[in-house]
């Protein structure tokens, strides 16, 4: 039964299915089948856009809506008489697929890279970039800021300033863990820009700490990634961190 399969997808990874059989399955199972066949990971913060075909996001949204409706029913909320919750399942499904988790389902935004013609080799700082995400433990919001330090060389590809924010948004718009999010963003920038040094600092507020659990109101978490020249050169690292603290207080 499809229901069992979705509960334990790993249990039957390599059963061959014809296109016809696949078409009869819900979109989520079709997409999962393709991922498993390709031996691709599909954790909460993975982008799976290459496995989603035209029209399937609409189908996914309908599936999420139906299951969200079941969650509301399990919470014993009368979504028929309570006009506030009539359309909640639909709104939440749209929010997940099209907004807050969109970075899982769509390819990376188009980014034009241009060669470093003027051979810039000075420390460049981008930020603070406002980032919004959700923790994959509780699906609670994460709000924060990211600073990016780049030390280009003559072979680096430069990208427009606004593109850093678009790439960050694409990576953060998934259920995330802050440590993994900064590493993912660093990998993406490393690959595109190919700088001599790359530094990233993310400071964020985790709402699962405010809304539930310890209800700590002062719980910003800071993570950083330092690569290349930023690892080797303490002065460069210091310069980046001092510019960053000056920026954040202004």
C-alpha distances in Å from residue 104, one per residue of 30, 40, 166, 175, 194: 16, 14, 14, 9, 24
> Shortest gap between Cβ of 114 and Zn ion (angstroms)?
39
Q: Which stretch binds Zn ion (CB under 5 A): 77-85, 131-139, 155-163, 167-175?
A: 131-139
Residue 208 in the binding site for Zn ion (CB under 5 A): yes
Could you tell me which stretch among 75-83, 119-127, 202-210, 219-227 binds Zn ion (CB under 5 A)?
202-210
Helix (H, G, I), strand (E, B) or coil at 62: helix
Name, in order, each residue with C-beta under 8 angstroms of 111's C-beta and a sequence gap of 6 or more.
159, 160, 163, 166, 167, 192
Residue with tokens 């694409």: 170
119 binds Zn ion (CB under 5 A): no
Shortest distance, position 209 Cβ to Zn ion, whole Å: 7
* Summary count for the chain: helices (H), strands (E): 11, 7
> Where do we find the tokens 């949204």?
61
- Answer yes or no whether residue 135 interacts with Zn ion by CB under 5 A: yes
Stretch that binds Zn ion, among 77-85, 128-136, 169-177, 231-239 (CB under 5 A): 128-136
Q: Does the footprint of Zn ion cover residue 244 (CB under 5 A)?
A: no
**Residue span binding Zn ion (CB under 5 A) among the ranges 18-26, 38-46, 108-116, 130-138:** 130-138
Segment contacting Zn ion by CB under 5 A, of 28-36, 52-60, 203-211, 222-230:
203-211
- 43-63 core/surface letters (b: 16 or more CB in 10 A; e: else): ebbebbeebbeeeebebbbee
Q: In angstroms, what is the minimal distance from the CB of 227 to Zn ion?
A: 27
- Supply the minimum distance, in Å, between the C-beta of residue 213 and Zn ion: 8
Would you give the binding string for Zn ion spanning residues 144-183, x where CB under 5 A is met?
----------------------------------------
Among 40, 43, 91, 137, binds Zn ion (CB under 5 A): 137
Instruction: Rule CB under 5 A: say whether 138 interacts with Zn ion.
Output: yes
Report the 10 Å Cβ neighbour count for 88.
17
Number of residues that bind Zn ion (CB under 5 A): 4
Q: Give the span between the Cα atoms of 112 and 90, in whole angstroms.
A: 36
- Using an 8 Å Cβ cutoff, are 144 and 205 in contact? yes
Instruction: Give the binding site for Zn ion (CB under 5 A).
Output: 135, 137-138, 208
């Amino acid at each position: 039964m499809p229901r069992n399969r979705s509960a334990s997808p790993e249990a039957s990874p390599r059963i061959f299915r014809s296109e016809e059989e696949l078409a009869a399955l819900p979109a989520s199972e079709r997409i999962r089948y393709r991922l498993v066949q390709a031996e691709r990971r599909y954790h909460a913060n993975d982008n799976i856009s290459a496995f989603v075909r035209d029209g399937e996001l609409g189908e996914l949204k309908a599936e999420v809506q139906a299951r969200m409706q079941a969650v509301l029913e399990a919470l014993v909320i009368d979504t028929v008489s309570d006009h506030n919750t009539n359309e909640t399942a639909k709104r939440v499904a749209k929010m997940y697929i099209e907004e807050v988790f969109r970075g899982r389902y769509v390819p990376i935004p188009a980014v034009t890279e241009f060669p470093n013609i003027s051979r810039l080799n000075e420390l460049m700082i981008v930020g603070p970039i406002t980032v919004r995400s959700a923790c994959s433990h509780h699906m609670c919001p994460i709000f924060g800021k990211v600073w990016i330090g780049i030390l280009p060389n003559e072979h680096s590809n430069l990208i427009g300033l606004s593109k850093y924010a678009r790439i960050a948004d694409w990576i953060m718009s998934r259920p995330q863990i802050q440590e993994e999010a900064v590493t993912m963003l660093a990998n993406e920038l490393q690959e595109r820009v190919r700088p001599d040094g790359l530094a990233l600092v993310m400071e964020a507020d985790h709402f699962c700490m405010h809304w539930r659990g310890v209800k700590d109101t002062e719980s910003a978490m800071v993570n950083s990634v330092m690569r290349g020249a930023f690892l080797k050169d303490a002065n460069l690292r210091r310069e980046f961190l001092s510019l960053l603290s000056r920026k954040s207080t202004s």
